[in-house]
């Protein structure tokens, strides 16, 4: 039986395995089985904490609900940081992910602030299949042209600014956009409604997962896209289905800071070979 912690950041939920002291033999098939809400534990993403080596306090791997790996998951990063902050009594920890090094600081109570570094704005870095101005371009879908923005927060994002995020056809358009050839590594898709200069309502289709209650990388990508278009200030509240994240894109160093809460509802054990 393998121990795990069930966690969530604004309802975006995770099964977290700790492989720092003993290996966790997790395959893509195992990860997919764990995420199943009827036959497994149930979550959006499976997370594995590993030794960080000389660079970081720990390294983190993320597995989507379809078994594929994700380069980054900021909500999960925040949750892992909370575990380590509480475990070690620290004010700050450094986590290594495939999307880069994340500096995570205690923001009081259950909240954590993550310095996720600078967004990647060049079309080759997202990546996209052809050159466009990632601030604002036309996305071709089923004979229609949809205005969009693109940014990488360690993983690819396509942001659509819509008049009503709640009414947006996320389940219909999300998977179609995710799998367009224009996105060689597929993409997350955000449907964002600017409420005022300091607030955005956003809903998300996560690559390899589907509709989720929150997405940290998506909130950061949305805020960056809105700021680039001049729609908001450099500090903005992003309201997701599961709650709010505060996002700041600092002018002095170009880094994005994300602050939000975490929760760990329960711990358990699972037989990975029997799922």
Q: For 112-164, what is each residue's pLDDT tens digit?
A: 999 999 999 999 999 999 999 999 999 999 888 999 999 999 999 999 999 99
Q: For 189-241, what is each residue's pLDDT tens digit?
A: 999 999 999 999 999 999 999 999 999 999 999 999 999 999 999 999 999 99
**Pair (93, 196) in one structural domain:** no
What is the full DSSP assignment across 182-218? TSTT--EEEEEEEEETTEEEEEEEETTTEEES--HHH
Please list the active-site residues. 73, 215
Structure token pair of residue 269: 């054990």
**Pair (86, 152) in one structural domain:** no
pLDDT at 25 over 90: no
- Rounded CA-CA distance 272/27 in Å is 9
Q: For 152-193, what is each residue's pLDDT tens digit?
A: 999 999 999 999 999 999 999 999 999 999 999 999 999 999
Average pLDDT for the chain: 96
CB neighbours of 32 closer than 8 A, spacing ≥ 6? 63, 65, 66, 67
Residue 172 within any structural domain of the chain: yes
Between strands 156-161 and 144-152, the pairing is antiparallel
pLDDT > 90 fraction of the chain, expressed in percent and rounded: 96
Residue 20 within any structural domain of the chain: yes
Residue 215 within any structural domain of the chain: yes
* CATH number of the CATH domain containing 173: 3.10.310.10
Rg from Cα positions in the chain: 18
| pLDDT at position 86 | 96
Q: For 65-122, what is each residue's pLDDT tens digit?
A: 999 999 999 999 999 999 999 999 999 999 999 999 999 999 998 999 999 999 999 9
**Pair (156, 246) in one structural domain:** yes
* pTM for this model (two decimals): 0.93
**Looking at the 3D structure of the chain, how many domains does it have?**
2
Structure token pair of residue 211: 């509709």
Structure token pair of residue 261: 């809460």
**Pair (107, 160) in one structural domain:** no
Longest dimension (CA), the chain: 55
């Amino acid at each position: 039986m393998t121990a795990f912690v069930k966690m969530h950041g604004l309802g975006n939920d995770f099964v977290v395995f700790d492989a720092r002291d003993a290996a966790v033999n997790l395959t893509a098939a195992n990860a997919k089985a764990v995420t199943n809400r009827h036959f497994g534990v149930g979550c959006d993403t499976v997370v594995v904490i590993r030794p960080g080596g000389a660079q970081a306090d720990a390294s983190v791997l993320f597995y989507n609900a379809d078994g594929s790996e994700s380069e980054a998951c900021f909500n999960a990063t925040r949750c892992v940081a909370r575990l380590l902050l509480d475990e070690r009594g620290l004010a700050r920890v450094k986590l290594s992910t495939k999307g880069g090094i994340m500096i995570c600081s205690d923001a009081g109570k259950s909240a954590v602030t993550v310095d996720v570094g600078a967004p990647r704005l060049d079309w080759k870095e997202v990546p996209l299949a052809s050159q466009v101005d990632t601030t604002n371009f036309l996305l071709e879908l089923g004979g229609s042209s949809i205005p969009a923005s693109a940014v990488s927060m360690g993983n690819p994002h396509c942001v659509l600014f819509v008049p009503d995020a709640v009414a947006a056809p996320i389940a219909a358009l999300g998977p179609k956009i995710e799998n367009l050839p224009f996105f060689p590594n597929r993409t997350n898709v955000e449907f964002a409604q600017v409420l005022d200069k300091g607030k955005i309502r956003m809903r998300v289709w996560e690559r390899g997962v589907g509709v989720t209650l929150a997405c940290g990388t998506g909130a950061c990508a949305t805020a960056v896209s809105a700021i680039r278009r001049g729609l908001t200030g450099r500090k903005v509240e992003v309201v997701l289905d599961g709650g709010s994240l505060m996002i700041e894109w600092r002018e002095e160093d170009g880094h994005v800071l994300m602050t939000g809460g975490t929760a760990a509802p329960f711990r358990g054990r699972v037989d990975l070979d029997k799922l």
